[in-house]
Amino acid sequence: MGRKFYKKPHNWRWQKFYALKNSKISLEDGIEEYDREKLGYDYDEYWDFLRDPLADISQYIVGTHCCLDCYYSWIGLASEEDICEYNYHRLYENVLNPGNTVLNIITGNNPDFLYEANLQELKISAIPGNDIEKKLENYIRSLDNLQFSMDFNVNRIRKTIGDFSNIEIIKNSIDSEHSDFITKWACILSPFWLRSPKTWNKASGIHILNHLFTLYETPNVLLQQWFISRRYDRQPMPFKWICWYIIIGQGGSLKKAAKFFKWNIPNKFQHYLMKAPDTIYPMEANIYAEIHRLGGNHQDFVRVMYNQVLVIDPTEKNYDESFLKFWKDTVSWLIKHRGALSDDESSMVAAWAIHRYTESNRDENIADFSWKGRAVVNVLAQSLEYVTSVTMVSWIGYEWEKHDWDWSLKDENENKWDFTELINGEQLFEEGMYMSHCVGSYSGRCASGASAIFSLKKNDNRMITIEVNPKSKMLVQSLGKGNRRPSPSEINIIKLWMRTKLEM
């Protein structure tokens, strides 16, 4: 896991990490076996800052390397998400089997890596509606660095579970496809049980999870996240949504929780989330809630969902503030002028707006995009002009020299990633048509040497179009289909490509 990205350390500063890497064979074998035997879910890439399995060593990275993500892969360890999930799995195994030997990721023989836990701070008591937001955040943080706090957490969970027959009650109440995942996480989160499994009555019609965790109504879309089949679909682990389920179910406030979990929760958001349809995913439910909070309706929701670049989780802060403002302003403008636009015109306007926004970001000489004072008739005219311009082929015959920055690699999941420079107008035109953005009009920039454009493919499928300034070797922009933002995993791949090919 992550070993394909390994590079041998090139200075003494990393020799102890190189030695550490060589001691991880048993860990990597264990993770690989876990993946083969119990493949259940992916890392939640939308919300991960609380789930850093090696958080305590970050002090050794600052000033010597760029980031923890780079560090994990650079020294050849398993990826941090694999370590995190593997540790949770080991925690559960040790809860079930008191005789198990805890497998520490880092041996603790090196005093630099000693973890000193304040056990008093890790104590938890779930009281409905009484600061559940802070209690949940404290508990999740206490699960970090399980290689050092494993015994404490095992003992704590055993106490809250009580009789081991409670585990069997939970497992037997769930269908076999989901029982392992649900039982495991119901036990790990047992400090937040409000009722004992023994008092559950199937005939009551109350779900076992609602019996354990909730006193108040929760959106059904959050309960359903416990039941997504992860073995084959590779759906992200719903860590964020399970937290929302517990917070709402125990009378808490997502807005209050936002300051602890770094979410972006506006006033009345939770009210509209409760009205979201059961048939959509939580991220879509967040879009639904925010659109209705802004005064929109179901038609507005459908239109936004049709435009991929606007399909983001508005409760996340991993987008820059200017883009979140652009998103909100764009959605608000489309809501306001709903009756004056057809569905196709709405999509055309959204495509034009994101083009104007991205162009203003890439070029400091272009004024920041704003919706202020924009009339429908003028916006439609400019949108039509934009759509026409991206299909023009006046530059299609141009060619230019490539920069020898093409690159290919396979990631830890055997996905093949290819970075290929586009070196003529025809290739740019095809990229722009497929990706539904304006890169087809960039031939002049490339021919003059002002830009270099690369197509990033995953398993031969176009994913991201990348613009680089050839002189500074700096990333100018990287956008997917319809000018969507790259995902965190795509960003990591792009960073690795830049370190490997552009920083040589």
- Position 218 scores a pLDDT of 93
- Position 102 scores a pLDDT of 40
Lowest mean pLDDT among 60-64, 92-96, 185-189, 230-234: 60-64
CB count in 10 Å sphere of residue 95: 22
CB count in 10 Å sphere of residue 448: 10
What mean pLDDT do residues 218-226 have? 88
pLDDT above 50 (res 47)? no
Q: Which residues of 159-190 are buried (b: 16+ CB within 10 A; e: fewer)?
A: eebeeeebbebbbebbeeebeebbbbbbbbbb
- Phi and psi at 297, nearest 5°, equal -135, -170
If we measure between CA atoms, which residue out of 99, 126, 220, 236 comes closest to residue 181? 236
What mean pLDDT do residues 269-278 have? 94
What mean pLDDT do residues 19-47 have? 40
What mean pLDDT do residues 325-342 have? 95
- Position 53 scores a pLDDT of 42
- Position 485 scores a pLDDT of 81
Give tens-digit pLDDT for 395-435.
Answer: 677 889 999 999 999 988 889 999 999 999 889 888 887 88
294-371-262 Cα angle (round to 5):
50
Contact predicate 71/55, CB 8 Å: no
The pLDDT > 70 percentage for the chain reads: 73
- Position 82 scores a pLDDT of 59
* Cα gap 478→407, rounded to integer Å: 16
Q: What mean pLDDT is reported for the chain? A: 76
- Position 504 scores a pLDDT of 65
* Cα gap 30→25, rounded to integer Å: 8
Which residues are paired to 408 by β-bridges? 418
- Using pLDDT thresholds of 50, 70 and 90, give the confidence band for residue 61: very low
Give the residue extent of every domain in the chain.
Answer: 3-249, 281-385, 407-502
If we measure between CA atoms, which residue out of 140, 126, 122, 139 comes closest to residue 250? 126
Question: Amino acid identity of 376?
Answer: V
- Using pLDDT thresholds of 50, 70 and 90, give the confidence band for residue 392: low
- Using pLDDT thresholds of 50, 70 and 90, give the confidence band for residue 37: very low
235 or 258, which is more confident:
258
Give tens-digit pLDDT for 193-205.
Answer: 999 999 999 888 8
- Position 455 scores a pLDDT of 95
pLDDT above 60 (res 342)? yes
Most trustworthy range by pLDDT among 238-252, 303-317, 477-491: 238-252
Give tens-digit pLDDT for 83-129.
Answer: 666 777 788 888 887 654 443 333 333 323 222 333 333 344 555 55
What predicted TM-score, i.e. pTM, was given to this entire model? 0.66
- Position 114 scores a pLDDT of 26
- Position 128 scores a pLDDT of 53
- Position 297 scores a pLDDT of 95
- Using pLDDT thresholds of 50, 70 and 90, give the confidence band for residue 60: very low
* Angle, helix 321-336 to helix 343-362, in steps of 10 degrees: 150
Long-range contacts of 383-392 (CB under 8 A, 24+ apart): 383/345, 383/348, 383/349, 383/351, 383/352, 384/348, 386/351, 386/352, 386/355, 386/438, 387/348, 387/351, 387/352, 389/438, 389/441, 390/432, 390/437, 390/438, 390/440, 390/441, 391/433, 391/440, 392/440, 392/441
Question: Residue 1: which residues within 8 A CB-CB, separation 6 or more?
Answer: 28, 31, 32, 35, 77, 78, 79, 82, 83, 412
The pair of structure tokens assigned to 119 is: 């056990």
Contact predicate 71/83, CB 8 Å: no
- Position 209 scores a pLDDT of 94
The pair of structure tokens assigned to 100 is: 């198990």
pLDDT above 90 (res 316)? no
